[in-house]
Amino acid sequence: MSDPITVMKALRRPRLLISAARFGLGDYRRDRDLRRLVKTPRLPMPDQALSALLEQEERLEETRRAGDAGYSIARHVEVLIAMMAEARLLPQGPRPQT
């Protein structure tokens, strides 16, 4: 898999989804929300969490685009919030050029 930050920068999602996620960032609590989203007993490192969240988000996006009745916009926003928050926890340094 490519660098998670590079993958996130390439995502193109509806503006309303992104705005809702940004709005919810302030309420994100890693120990509570991430554990529920990734369903693991221990919290993963931010890079591992981000990879798992990217996979979930990709499935949610496919469901949204297909117009599936099982799509949950609330779940999609929760995953986007977690992705944004986990990306902020990654070390800030030069990123490899692709």
pLDDT tens-place string over residues 3-34 = 667 776 778 898 999 999 999 999 999 999 99
* pLDDT score for 94: 56
Give the Å distances, CA to CA, from 52 to 19, 20, 48, 57, 94.
22, 21, 6, 9, 23
Residue 84 contacts residue 31 (beta carbons within 8 Å): no
Is residue 97 situated within a structural domain? no
Residue 49 contacts residue 43 (beta carbons within 8 Å): yes
Is residue 93 situated within a structural domain? no
Which pTM does this prediction carry?
0.84
Could you write out the DSSP letters of every residue in 31-81?
Answer: IIIIHHHHT-SSPPPHHHHHHHHHHHHHHHHHHHHHT-TT--HHHHHHHHH
Is residue 96 situated within a structural domain? no
Token code pair at residue 43: 């919290």
Range of the domain at 64: 4-88
**Based on the structure, what is the number of domains in the chain?**
1
Is residue 66 situated within a structural domain? yes
pLDDT in tens, 62-92: 999 999 999 999 999 999 999 999 988 887 7
pLDDT in tens, 33-70: 999 999 888 899 998 999 999 999 999 999 999 999 99
